[in-house]
Structure 1
Amino acid sequence: MSESEQANPESANASEQTGAPDKVRKLTNILVISVVVIFLFSVIADRIIPITDNARVKGYIVPIKPEVSGTVLDIVVQPNQLVNQGDPLALLDPADYRIAVRQAEQNLEIAGQNVGAQTANVAAAQARLTSAMVEQANTQQQASRVLAMADKGVVSRAEADNARAALASAKAGVSKAQADLEQAKQQMGQQGEENSQVKAALLALEQAQLNLERTVIKAPTQGGVSNFSLSEGFYASAGQAIMTFVSIEDIWIEAYFRENSLGNVTVGDEVEVALDFAPGKVVKGRVTSIDWGIDWGQSNQAGKLAQASEQTGWLRQTQMLPITIQFERDEVRGLLRIGGQADVIVYSGDNWLFNTLGKVWIRLLSLFSYVR
């Protein structure tokens, strides 16, 4: 203690008492300024790099329904096994349908004998046409799904072009098979081709061959089957679902953001995604569409009075709006699950500071997926 303080101890005590409130005031000011800075940063960041954890992986869920009835002879696929398009999933007993084909062939031969025509080549050409038509139908279904998502921007143009090419190839196969059938009919002779008995026999043969083809239940796309408890000997009825197929070819993410976070978000903005099923991985993507609106219960039934919303006040409940995101699936192939959760951040501008902070934060969230 200095000589002045020793000489005047009351002055020293007063100085210490004054210093303590100053430290508290300084600390309080720092805390208040920090809170204000964090609040302002959050508000600005929410407009430049909006982020949400309300996001789900979505895709096509296809119920597998046999087109013909029959006893299940063999289940080729296991639950959740990855299969490719066209791979057999289950086999129905084809015995009755093979008999029907042979019966139809005999009926065609009898009809041909009645008019003095050779029908063997016609029967073979008809079988090739039936197979080509089945392939075209399967390709048409797949192409329709891909092109529908291409219109929304969920799948790339290359995938859409591949779907169109596959469909064109399938149509060409049907055209060739039809041409071969017409050639066989012409070789059979005009009289046989125009004979009503021959026509009826050809139609019956086509239907029998088609039913026989349908005893092999095939995968519509690449994906896996789930939610089935099927065993050999089960009688499958036409039109009744026997298993659920999850397509992994056409997968996208639907993310819900607060509506006041989407002011600067536009189609084409860069996106980064952290999937819960793939901790530590961050996948890049793009915003492909922003929904125009959602159902908030505004419709009222006729004969009833309108209902007023109960949301009042400044801090009313936040409204969430969905956006669709296409992401690079090759980096997480085999790790995707329909309905899986994800964190999504959108970079709506070229602000290097906020974008850098956003990239750091989404990677931290991806690491958090290991423990949450």
Structure 2
Amino acid sequence: MTENDKPGNDPNENPAETRQGDEQNAAAQTQKQGIDPVRKWTFILLAATVILLAWYLVSDRLVPSTSQARVHALVVPVAPEVSGTVISVEVRNNQRVGAGEKLFHIDPERYQLAVETAEADLQTARQAMGASSANVSAAKATLVSAKASLVRAEKDAARFTRIREEDPGAISLRRIESAEASLEAAKGQVEAAEANVEKARQDLGKTGEQNSRILQARSALAQATLNLERTIVRAPEDGLVTDVRVNKGNYANASAPQMTFIALDNIWVQADFTENNLGHIRAGNQARLVFDALPGKVFSGKVRELGFGVSVDSAPLGSLPTIENNRDWLRSAQRYPVLIDFDIQDRQLASRLRVGSQVTVVVHTGENALLNTLANLQLWFNSILTYAY
């Protein structure tokens, strides 16, 4: 065979017909091999993107989730209500304590002396009340005597006047005037005695334990006793003490915190959801929680309440407002707190939680079986990932 006899080298062959034949052969070959892989995977990726976008938009409303959540508890600074030198500290840092358990003790000596002084003052007040009562009795006796003198003076004046009327020469005018003067003096003595009785009663006040001096002394004694009791600082309820900054020999000022108390019986999760997540969340909705401190485990919770407002920067009165020069196309989403209650029955697991521990939260806003299941699967996967980060 010569070179001109090889296929494709026929000088009489038409190039257009040859190209058309090649295209037909390529189309036939492609049809035999199936759909183009590039087009196939492009379609798959596009479909997956649409599905994921739809899932995100729907789930973000019906099963909202957030990783911006932390464990919170009531945190109370422990400060003494009286000042003094610390003579003993009964707890160590991060120790669990029971309600009423002794935390530290302030030197009670001067407060004990104050109690003894108040007791003596109370006794003095009772004695003073007795003296005031005696003064009232004495004033009353003086009043009785003055009234008797008045009666006698009235009788003398009346008798002398009658005798003079019957016999003008029997009694002199001077004697009559002296009797009338004695009568006026007796009246003045009665008025003075009545005033003394009223003054003695005012000085005495109420009788018995309702006497003002006794009430004041009893109040001072109660305050001194309370201050003495306050030299022992106790735990307000069951919880944990941390940040212990007091030691024996330190001088503790009243109202100055010496340690921090955390109430472990009242712990909740604060989950910060974006505004567009809140549309379907209601108090009582079920929630699922994953704690970073407890990897591999998913816990149940319930929405307690939704926050109504958050703090924003505002200019004080009398000043000009501050305007942010922000020209970004997309602004940061505003978040609001959602409080979630939970209860971990296993105390050993619960003890591993810390105030401020990070949490991932999913809220089931309705009976959406498919969405709830998918959200739970995603949360379970996140719980596994917490082993690694």
Q: Equivalents in 2 of 1:112, 1:87: separation in Å?
A: 38
**1:354 matched to which residue of 2?**
371
**In structure 2, do the counterparts of structure 1 residues 311 and 328 end up closer, same or farther at CA, with 3 Å as the change threshold?**
farther
Query: Can you give the 5+ residue segments of structure 1 that lack an aligned partner in the other structure?
Result: 1-5, 118-189
Greater Rg over alpha carbons, structure: 2
Aligned equivalent of 2:274, options 252, 258, 280: 258
Q: How many residues align?
A: 294
- Contact 1:69/1:235 (<8 A) preserved: yes
Aligned equivalent of 1:320, options 326, 335, 356: 335
C-alpha deviation, 1:85, in angstroms = 1.8
Residue 279, structure 1, aligned to residue 295, structure 2: yes
Query: Can you give the 5+ residue segments of structure 2 that lack an aligned partner in the other structure?
Result: 1-6, 8-17, 132-205
Q: Which residue identity does 2:224 align to in structure 1?
A: A
- Contact 1:116/1:192 (<8 A) preserved: no
**In structure 2, do the counterparts of structure 1 residues 116 and 301 end up closer, same or farther at CA, with 3 Å as the change threshold?**
closer
Identity %, equivalent residues? 36
Q: Which residue identity does 2:77 align to in structure 1?
A: P
**2:318 matched to which residue of 1?**
302
Written as runs of structure 1 = structure 2, the 5 A alignment for 1:8-23 is 15-16=28-29, 22-23=36-37
Residue 368, structure 1, aligned to residue 380, structure 2: no
C-alpha deviation, 1:93, in angstroms = 1.0
Q: Equivalents in 2 of 1:197, 1:343: separation in Å?
A: 64
Written as runs of structure 1 = structure 2, the 5 A alignment for 1:156-167 is none
**In structure 2, do the counterparts of structure 1 residues 336 and 30 end up closer, same or farther at CA, with 3 Å as the change threshold?**
same
**TM-score of the pair, normalised by structure 1:** 0.71
SS of the aligned residue for 1:207 comes to helix
Written as runs of structure 1 = structure 2, the 5 A alignment for 1:56-135 is 56-113=70-127
**2:197 matched to which residue of 1?**
none
Q: Which residue identity does 2:379 align to in structure 1?
A: I
**In structure 2, do the counterparts of structure 1 residues 113 and 304 end up closer, same or farther at CA, with 3 Å as the change threshold?**
closer
**In structure 2, do the counterparts of structure 1 residues 298 and 311 end up closer, same or farther at CA, with 3 Å as the change threshold?**
farther
Q: Equivalents in 1 of 2:35, 2:72: separation in Å?
A: 58
- Contact 2:92/2:244 (<8 A) preserved: no
**1:215 matched to which residue of 2?**
231
**TM-score of the pair, normalised by structure 2:** 0.68
Q: Which residue identity does 1:68 align to in structure 2?
A: V
C-alpha deviation, 1:54, in angstroms = 0.2
**In structure 2, do the counterparts of structure 1 residues 195 and 366 end up closer, same or farther at CA, with 3 Å as the change threshold?**
same
**In structure 2, do the counterparts of structure 1 residues 237 and 300 end up closer, same or farther at CA, with 3 Å as the change threshold?**
closer
C-alpha deviation, 1:15, in angstroms = 4.9
Residue 31, structure 1, aligned to residue 31, structure 2: no
C-alpha deviation, 1:228, in angstroms = 2.5
SS of the aligned residue for 1:361 comes to helix
Further displaced range: 286-295 or 355-364? 286-295
SS of the aligned residue for 1:248 comes to strand
SS of the aligned residue for 1:63 comes to strand
Q: Equivalents in 1 of 2:316, 2:226: separation in Å?
A: 48
Q: Equivalents in 2 of 1:238, 1:290: separation in Å?
A: 37
Q: Equivalents in 1 of 2:57, 2:342: separation in Å?
A: 27
- Contact 1:75/1:90 (<8 A) preserved: yes
C-alpha deviation, 1:330, in angstroms = 3.6
**1:125 matched to which residue of 2?**
none
SS of the aligned residue for 2:49 comes to helix
Q: Which residue identity does 1:245 align to in structure 2?
A: F
Further displaced range: 210-219 or 59-68? 59-68
CA offset digits 1:234-293 (Å, max 9, x no partner)? 011112111111222222211111222222222221111111222233221122222233
**In structure 2, do the counterparts of structure 1 residues 99 and 301 end up closer, same or farther at CA, with 3 Å as the change threshold?**
closer
**In structure 2, do the counterparts of structure 1 residues 37 and 242 end up closer, same or farther at CA, with 3 Å as the change threshold?**
same
Q: Equivalents in 2 of 1:48, 1:39: separation in Å?
A: 14
CA offset digits 1:29-74 (Å, max 9, x no partner)? 1111111111111111111111100001112221111111111111
Q: Equivalents in 1 of 2:365, 2:60: separation in Å?
A: 10
**1:205 matched to which residue of 2?**
221
**2:361 matched to which residue of 1?**
344
**In structure 2, do the counterparts of structure 1 residues 198 and 338 end up closer, same or farther at CA, with 3 Å as the change threshold?**
same
Q: Which residue identity does 1:358 align to in structure 2?
A: A
**In structure 2, do the counterparts of structure 1 residues 224 and 23 end up closer, same or farther at CA, with 3 Å as the change threshold?**
same
SS of the aligned residue for 1:52 comes to strand
**2:66 matched to which residue of 1?**
52
CA offset digits 1:180-234 (Å, max 9, x no partner)? xxxxxxxxxx844244443333122111101111001011222112222221000
